[in-house]
A and B are shown apart, each in its own frame.
Chain A
């Protein structure tokens, strides 16, 4: 149920993001709403449910890019695992900590997306320029994470049952 709730929320937020970005002309950057949901799943959900949520959210992002390749489901699960591993060292359950976690995850997610796209495209020259909007993207993602926290908590209120990366 939580998996479905978070996935449906991701679909709605991605659809809204697409329209808002178009309407306000943020052509150089995006608001990474999906990373916030993946990080939340990493901090709060169980391993299996969180991994499936990260995969599903990444899949939605992949489909909505117009050129689905499988990159974003892979990155979704990877970011989920990294968030889960980092949560062993740092407590990210408060609202502010969650926003900072999301900012860091957005930065990593964007860099990895750039790296993998660059590796598989014939001409990587133009891709470098897409990173110019990254600082604003990180800032917007952390703001959105801060605002989304109460909504996410309503969908998935539970604390993580056991410590450990894959337990």
Chain B
């Protein structure tokens, strides 16, 4: 038996190296596993390299674009000053509305949930496989980032944290084929589901009843019904509507509100802070 193993040692080891991950893949499918010690070591090694490279590239491009931007900056400054004055006026009216809203809520004994500050993070890389649409950020478990937390920019939804280790985390983009977000059409409050098209550029709109109205340029926002994203965050704008001859639902394509290709900094909303990675073993599924 031992001599047989000795004779076939190399082929057996090679076949073992191939079959072990194959079995792991077939048992876990596309869901992924929680990071183990070796995974964490690899991520801890690569994160500083990516951070330094990102910093170097942004410094160079920032310097070049800063120099270029100096030309015509005087006109821009004047325009910004005008816009700032307008924004101040708008802010004042919004403050009035907020104060009125607070008074009315108090009158109705409405209790607001405790709002924790968002965590600011920088995108330091994308994943090296085109099969998954995800990016890596420079904040992790030590900064309070947990699996399942929604990730946004001021423009709208970016995605959801799918893995968090000590100093970095991975964010599944809303354009990933596995991404699902509960949504509403802002104009008429029609409920829908937004699904990533998988190509990094577009989203699909699903489960809108045929009798509901959907037109081009409708703004789609989060419904807050999926247990991940708070309500009211912009997802995108309807680009085209399809009405199949058969079936119960309309279809549509959406252009994301956020330019996913160019996203540099993101905010992580700590709504799922209570659930740690250990508690959310189903998190990446």
Contact = CB atoms under 8 A, between A and B. Distances in A.
Interface of A: 11-12, 14-19, 21-23, 25, 27-30, 33-34, 47-48, 51-52, 54-55, 58-74, 77-78, 81, 110, 113-114, 116-117, 120-121, 123, 125-130, 132-133, 137, 166
A58 B128 CA distance: 11
Given A64-B46, A65-B127, A66-B163, A28 B17 contact: no
B29 A74 contact: no
B134 A130 contact: no
Nearest to B124: A19
B178 A121 contact: yes
Q: Which of A23, A68, A77 has the most CB of B within 10 A?
A: A68
Contact of A65 (B24, B35, B134): B134
Nearest to A31: B128
24 contacts: A11-B46, A16-B53, A18-B127, A19-B124, A21-B128, A25-B262, A27-B201, A28-B200, A52-B17, A54-B17, A62-B21, A64-B128, A65-B134, A68-B33, A69-B28, A70-B28, A73-B17, A117-B131, A121-B29, A126-B198, A129-B197, A130-B130, A130-B131, A130-B198
B17 A51 contact: yes
A67 B45 CA distance: 18
Q: Which of B28, B39, B125, B176 has the most CB of A within 10 A?
A: B125
A129 B199 contact: yes
Contact of B132 (A25, A54, A66, A129): A66
A120 B26 CA distance: 8
B54 interface: yes
A52 B13 CA distance: 9
B200 A27 contact: yes
Interface in B39-54: 39, 42-43, 45-46, 49-50, 53-54
Contacts, number: 192
Given A22-B54, A66-B134, A69-B33, A120 B198 contact: no
A125 B50 CA distance: 32
A3 to B, nearest CB: 13
B14 A63 contact: no
Contacts of B24: 69-70
A117 B124 CA distance: 26
B260 interface: yes
Given A15-B46, A55-B17, A69 B29 contact: yes
A65 B14 contact: no
B177 A123 contact: yes
A29 B20 CA distance: 29
A66 B172 contact: yes
B108 interface: no
A125 B32 contact: no
A89 to B, nearest CB: 20
Nearest to B14: A51
Closest 5 pairs between A and B when the two form their complex, measured CB to CB:
A126-B198, A126-B177, A18-B125, A67-B32, A70-B24
Contact of B50 (A18, A77, A121, A127): A18
Contacts of B181: none
A74 B199 contact: no
A116 B23 CA distance: 13
B25 A63 contact: no
